[in-house]
Structure 1
């Protein structure tokens, strides 16, 4: 059995949690990496050193707040520019705009970027993969990125992991691989799949959850004698819908299986409510089909635009849910954004989903204040 003195030597040498990458410490309960010595001794017996936060997240689905700022996360990523490496940029194909890292070029420097669209399993299977890749590359180019290639995969079910690994092997050229992305795009889940594919070990190592900001520091996994695959902490977007929802309501935001689009035949002067989380107004245009792409369990209600404000005031938290009535106070008031379309367009509510509308219409999208509503060329 390992002694407490030996464990303290490991801590002094920089022992890290294998779940989130934080430095292990036993002194301050309120700081990241805290683990009671008794639990740490037991962890060594099981060859799995986790901080208390990761242990509780993995076993009880409890999240503990940490004292890290956006600047702390960005500082960790800025170190990549000084390396010679391949950057694997993981994006959520369901929430592409919410997956963009502002100023990514400053983090990656001159390093090659492999763009990976994760969670492809939630998109309709009728959508051709080649079209998704072309669309992702176009959107990346608009954002100022020039990826060397685009891969699609699913960290959840391991779909196309081998193809992604082949691309990493092709472009890394014996260099280390940095995996970057915003919170909740599934980076750590994806890396767990890579570890399983390479080692054959079916057990997850890195802590994953629906909560933003699970990985707290870089986690290094050896690829060979001279290089590693490095999971970096996710950049936190404060405008993500997830920040305004309870754990109970998060399941209505992030799809866990293939979404089933819903088409509504709307006349001008009609409104759709996505629970109490968002709203869509069809202000002007011919009777047409508006297709909604949201988590399957998120209920969508139609009403008249003239009555929409009163309808929301009366039914938010009840008929219009999530959030549930007891969590409604967590949600900022809805803010309105108006758009005039000139081509087939997606009205995107960051972190929630989108609606596809035809050309030559005037529409409005509403989201909690602080959550982005924007337009893009139709994905589908």
Structure 2
């Protein structure tokens, strides 16, 4: 059923067209809500009354149109990314939209990494990866929204960098953006004034301007949906197994060439060519891993997909795109990860190089990167 838009009515907070069909899309108002003038959407209502910037999502094209006007503003752009899915949640091409405005990169979910992690090395890795993706950052802050780690530093850095600027907060879905916006609202705004309907040229009506005490605004943008993330294409009932909530426990496998690892029934990893070596998987503890010989892999998958090889369940298989094979060559001596967006990564520990094939749902991002850890 198409989303019903009440085009004659717009939110008195952000100006978005009111709709009553989908609570996850901008402009939602429950059909049972009492008639009020001016009417405000559920998102603005929650910001105004509860300091709660509940997340909404839009597709990539709409999001890029929203970014189009940032370069003409005087703003600090706060880009929040998911450390577990770094390349999958980094906004491609953000640099060309921000102009001369500074970018603060906030890296969430550091609580998933082992406690022995070298945080300075990790911070340098993040800066290097951001640069490799064409993004110039004024600073990098590591944090955990779930554990409330590092958020004092985030707020402090925002204060240092923004001066008299507005603050744009951007990020993909499920990276912790709403938690950050809520914290900024709490620290910088008393919300005594009404939400503003003013917008900068070039932006859409999907962004909410939250007035700050100094007359500037936090601009909370909807989360962007990237279909290149495994978490966006698997059935909802599989997300609990795929998305980790506890620190990752590295699983190391000593493999000979022509051996295969199945990650549930979602991703297949073939060690095609190379000398005996180890591979370390950093994935959710809720995702079972099965090892077999490469010559048996096709048969095993056909016999056990949706059962032993799950998630997804048999019922959920039809909703997952078919696999695409990615052949990756790892050069001798390279210290690299094989990254699968939304699944995690497999660190290659061999010194003599290898060839691996990764089978993942069509469209999911698969690449080789410098090792994170």
Smaller-chain TM-score range?
0.7 to 0.9
Write the distance in 2 (CA, Å) between the matches of 1:48 and 1:119.
Answer: 32
Report what 1:137 is aligned to.
127
CA distance in 2, matches of 1:200, 1:353: 39
Matched, 1:127 2:117: yes
How many angstroms does 1:112 deviate by? 0.5
Change (3 A) 1:200 1:315: farther
Shift of residue 36, structure 1, vs aligned partner? 4.6
Deviations 1:137-194 (A, max 9, x none): 0001111112111101112232111111111111111211111122222211222233
**Where does the alignment leave 5 or more consecutive residues of structure 1 unmatched?**
1-10, 55-62, 202-215
Whole-Å separation in 1 of the counterparts to 2:226 and 2:358? 20
Aligned to 1:39: 33
2:243 paired residue number: 254
Q: What is the number of residues matched between the two proteins?
A: 340
- Aligned equivalents of 1:333 and 1:104: distance in 2? 30
Match of 2:369 among 356, 376, 379: 376
- 2:271 is equivalent to residue 282 of structure 1: yes
Task: Report the CA distance shift for 1:196/1:181 in structure 2 as closer, same or farther (over 3 A).
Answer: same
What RMSD in Å do the two structures reach over aligned CA positions?
Answer: 3.1
Q: Deviations over 1:232-278 (max 9, x none)?
A: 12222122212322221111222122111111111111100000110
Contact 1:270 1:281 (8 Å CA) reproduced: yes
Of 177, 184, 199, which aligns to 2:174? 184
Higher helix share: 1
Task: Tell me, yes or no, if structure 1 residue 300 matches structure 2 residue 280.
Answer: no
* Structure-1 separation of matches of 2:158 and 2:362: 39
Could you tell me how far 1:310 is from its partner in structure 2? 1.0
**Residue aligning to 1:158:** 148
Equivalence map 1:1-380=2 (5 Å):
14-16=11-13, 23=16, 25=18, 29=21, 32-36=26-30, 38-40=32-34, 50=42, 69-196=59-186, 217-342=206-331, 343-358=334-349, 359=351, 360-380=353-373
Query: Would you say the 8 A contact 1:346–1:356 is kept in 2?
Result: yes
CA contact (8 A) 1:40 1:49 kept: no
Q: Does the aligned pair in 2 maintain the 1:15–1:24 contact within 8 Å?
A: no
Question: Does the aligned pair in 2 maintain the 1:333–1:368 contact within 8 Å?
Answer: yes
Q: Secondary structure at the match of 2:236?
A: coil
Contact 2:79 2:106 in 1 (8 A): yes
Higher relative contact order (CA 8 A, sep 6+): 2
Gap change, CA 1:43 and 1:134, over 3 Å in 2: farther
Q: Distance in 2 between matches of 1:132 and 1:122?
A: 13
Q: Which moved more, 1:187-196 or 1:29-38?
A: 29-38
* Residue equivalent to 1:208: none
Give the match's secondary structure for 2:33: helix
Residue of structure 2 equivalent to 1:60: none
Rounded to whole Å, the distance in 1 between the matches of 2:28 and 2:338 is 43
Report the counterpart of residue 7 of structure 1 in structure 2. Answer: none
Q: Calculate the TM-score normalised by the size of structure 1.
A: 0.81
Measure how far apart 1:48 and its partner are. 9.2
Q: Which runs of 5+ in 2 are unaligned?
A: 1-8, 47-54, 192-204
Change (3 A) 1:379 1:36: closer
The structure with the largest strand share of the pair is 2
- Distance in 1, Cα, partners of 2:84 & 2:368: 14
Specify the SS of the correspondent of 2:130: helix
Distance 2:303 2:185 in 1: 50
- State the TM-score, normalized to the length of structure 2: 0.83
